Structure formats: structure tokens, C-alpha cells
Amino acid sequence: MGWYDTNGNDWYKPSSQTGAQARQPAANLPNGNRKTRVIALIVCLCVFIAGIALIAGGFGSDVIDYNADGKPSDWHVYFDKLYGTDAPTATADVRIPLADDRGSLTIKNGSEGASLDFSMIYEKCSPSVVGIKVYNDSESEDYYAWGSGVIASADGYIITNTHVLDDGDSATVVLSDGSEHEAKLIGFDASSDIAVIKIDATGLAAAEFASSSTLSVGDSVAAIGNPLSPDLRLTMTRGIVSALNREINYNGATMTLIQTDASINEGNSGGPLFNSRGQVIGITNMKMISSFGSGVEGLGFAIPSDTVESIVQALIEDGAVYGRVSIGVTVGPVSKDIAQYYDIPQGLYVSAVTEGSDAEAKGIERGDIITKVNGEDAFENSDVSDAKEGLNAGDTLTFTVWRDGRTLDITVKLMDPADMGK
């Protein structure tokens, strides 16, 4: 369960960028809308008190009736704006041609060494960072989504975010020297937002990786990626590790992420976050923005390298990750204050239901408020993730759901995200 940003209206959102050869994105566009239509992704986290949201595009132009205190008069509108209306799913639609052979990949782990200054980090690491153009056959030839990736091996394996490739029919990798290469898909995992592609090339500058377990809050980090458009390829931003083990619910699964104040923008998705020795310790994929107009800066997130390596190995071996369980709903907290304000129950607002999930089959709907899980109060996302801890696909949870003044008990079977939609 979790918060998936839907183009600017949800908690978290990915940071891929939509674009065309000659089109420049809006200067105030948050972190990576994949298309010009409004659909939120995981990089926009919204919280009521702060009014923040992970961005994935802009907001719609709907006229909303606001009360004197600035809140929408209709609670459905409030939560739709806060948590997004275009739901994420536990799967992704990646149609990029598969590689003939997944082959094998050994990630290069760097050794302990002296810290580098930021100019040295850039000199060492920028050749391993790539741009990724993702084309959709239904769009014009010059229309593509734009993201980042990092070279994992000299023979062409590249790590990026799944959301960068989502809805794509083909992909082109742009190396640091400007040369372009057709990419083939090795595998992707929507729940972790990690994907692996491969190009037909050798002698590439493979990045060094380091264990994210060695990080401490306050450590210096640098992000290198391709914000907004190809015109800004290989941009480096610097900052620190702001927090560790931030739990974010995305695509029906809980992601544990690194928080950083290094600037992350649309197009940065899939790019590397380096430590002070120029080693990859994370893959950037999210940032926070405001859903209600307040400014939010310096709140970016990256998938820890330890997670990345385990997912990558599974993708190399099987093309997908199996054995996890998902409920198939995306939820966000209804705080006590907001519940009182709108005269609704405190609990978890259902912003999305995954197509093909048992939750969908059993009748859980967007707009429901989950008040209990197995008879226990459910006020935070962790109340649900804790309840499914240790359970397997086929096991069940019973949700008490409030819907338009009625209370329902709905028992839902847990499923492997890879099986949803089949």
C-alpha cells in the first residue's frame, strides 16, 4: 500500500521528463511528468499540514470551491488533490523490445578510499551517467519521455527507474559523448521502480557502487542526471544525506529510501546518487512538491544501492522479481484534525485500487476510508504494512471500510504484484 503521485496530486512522484526535440518544459514543472496529460507519479508526497506532494507534472485547471481557510469544501476533492486521482498500479506497461539474452551482470563495487572534491567526483562519474529517451509509437516521432540512467557494466548494462520506461515502445540511450544507442529491455520491477536495459556497446565507463548501509545522516552526496531536457544533460547537484530509511508506500509496496537535499528535478529519475568517493549509493526517483501552493525545496529521495543490487540481480536472472505480496490499494492518512474538519472517520483514504488485484475484485473503491485492519485501528500506512508482515500470497486481511456513512468489512487476498492484471 502506499502513496503514488499522480502527476502532481499525490504524495510521491517519479522524476522522468516528458519532452520533444525542440520543446522546453515549464520552468516550474516539478519532478517528471511522463506525458503532457496530468497523471501523478511517485515523486510527489503530499501531507496536509505542510501541503506537500511528490510531483509528476502539473495540476489540472479545474475550478475548485475553497472554504475561507483555503480547504476545498468537498472532502473528496481535498483528498483527490492531496493524493491524486489517476491511480498507480502494481504493474507497468513497458513495451520496449526484450534483449535476446539477459546475459550476466557483475556490479563493480568500489573500495574504501579518500574523499574527493565535487569537481573530481564529476570528472570521475559523469561518463557513467546516461540520458534515456523513451518513445511511444502513438505519439509523433519527436515526442519522448526523458530520464536518466547509470552504466552498470562496460558491456552495456544500464540501471534506471521503471517509471522512466513506462508506456514506452522503444528507448534510446544517450551516452556522455552524445552518441545514441538503441536499448533493449532486460527486465523491470514496478514495485521497487528499478529497471535494467542494455545497449550494444563495449568499453563503457561503468560506475562503482558502494553499500548504502555505510551511509550516515550528514554525509556528502552528489546527484548527476539530466534535468528537464537534453539541453541540461549531465547536471550535477550536491547536498547531504538528510535522513535514512524513509518509508514510502509506492505501487502497493513500502519503499525504504534515502532522503537528500541535493536538487532533483524532472529528468533526474533513474540517475545515480554518489557518495564522497564517487560511488553509487542510490538511484534517484522522487521529490516532494506542494499540492496547495506552498513552496517545498530540498526534499529528494533515492533508492538505496543495496536494494538496487538485489533487484538488479533478480532482473538479470528472471526478468522480474517474484515472491512479494501486495494488497493492491494505495492509501494515505486521514488525520484526526482533517477528519474532524470534514466530519469523516480518521483512517486511510484509498486513492487508488490496482487493476487485477483481489481488492478490486472484492469491491474496495477509490474514495473509501479504511478504519481498521483485522480489527485494529488503521491511522498510518505502517498499520497496514505491519499487518501484512510475514504473510504470503494467498493469505488474507480483513479491512473495515467506511463509505458514504456505511461501514463494510471486506476480506482481501494478498497477491504477488507480478500476478496482478493477469
Burial 50-74, CB ≥16 within 10 A → b, else e: ebbbbbbbbbeeeeeeeeeeebbee
Of 85-94, 231-240, 261-270, minimum mean pLDDT range = 85-94
Looking at residue 400, its pLDDT comes to: 97
| pLDDT computed for residue 73 by the predictor | 83
pLDDT for residue 26 is more than 50: no
Give ∠ CA 41-46-49 in degrees, rounded to 5: 175
pLDDT digits (tens, 9 = 90+) for 311-348: 999 999 988 888 778 888 888 889 999 999 999 999 99
Cα 230 to Cα 133: distance, rounded to the nearest angstrom: 9
Residue pLDDT, tens place only, 266-298: 889 999 999 999 999 999 988 876 555 456 678
Backbone angles phi, psi at 309, to 5 degrees: -60, -40
Contact yes or no for 33/19 (Cβ under 8 A): no
pLDDT attached to residue 40: 30
DSSP state of 87: -
Looking at residues 98-112, what average pLDDT do you find?
89
70-83: pLDDT as tens digits: 678 888 888 877 77
Closest to 43 measured CA to CA, from 404, 290, 310: 290
Eight-class DSSP state of 34: S
269, 276, 290, 351: which one is catalytic? 269
Q: Give the pLDDT of residue 251.
A: 58
76 has catalytic annotation: no
Whether 291 is catalytic is no
From the candidates 80, 128, 148, 163, give the one annotated as an active-site residue: 163
Looking at residue 209, its pLDDT comes to 96
Q: pLDDT (tens digit, 9 = 90+) per residue, 351-401?
A: 888 888 899 999 999 999 999 999 999 998 888 888 988 899 899 999 999
Opening angle at CA 318, ends 315 and 322, nearest 5: 85
pLDDT score of 45: 28
Q: Give me the domains of the chain, ranges plus CATH numbers.
A: 329-419 (2.30.42.10)
Q: Could you tell me if residue 51 is left (phi over 0), alpha (psi between -120 and 50 degrees) or otherwise beta?
A: left
Active-site choice (166, 189, 193, 306)? 193
Confidence of residue 13 (pLDDT cuts 50, 70, 90): very low
- Percent of the chain at pLDDT above 70? 76
pLDDT, tens only, 233-253: 899 999 999 999 987 766 556
The per-residue pLDDT for 3 is 31
- Mean pLDDT score, 171-177: 95
CA atoms within 13 A on the CB side of 21: 3
Q: What is the mean pLDDT of residues 414-421?
A: 78
Q: Are 309 and 329 in contact (CB under 8 A)?
A: no
Look-up of cell digits 532482473? 315
Here the cell at position 317 is 536472472
Please report which confidence band the pLDDT of residue 2 belongs to, taking 50, 70 and 90 as the band edges: very low
Using an 8 Å Cβ cutoff, are 305 and 280 in contact? yes
pLDDT score recorded for residue 252: 53
Instruction: Tell me the three cell numbers of residue 154.
Output: 562496460
**Mean pLDDT rounded to a whole number for the chain:** 80
| pLDDT score, position 55 | 36
Q: What would the pLDDT profile of 126-168 be if each residue is shown by its tens digit?
A: 999 999 999 998 876 666 789 999 999 999 999 999 999 998 9
**Location of C-alpha cell 502494481:** 90
Cβ-contact 346, 141 below 8 angstroms: no
Three-state DSSP at 383 gives helix
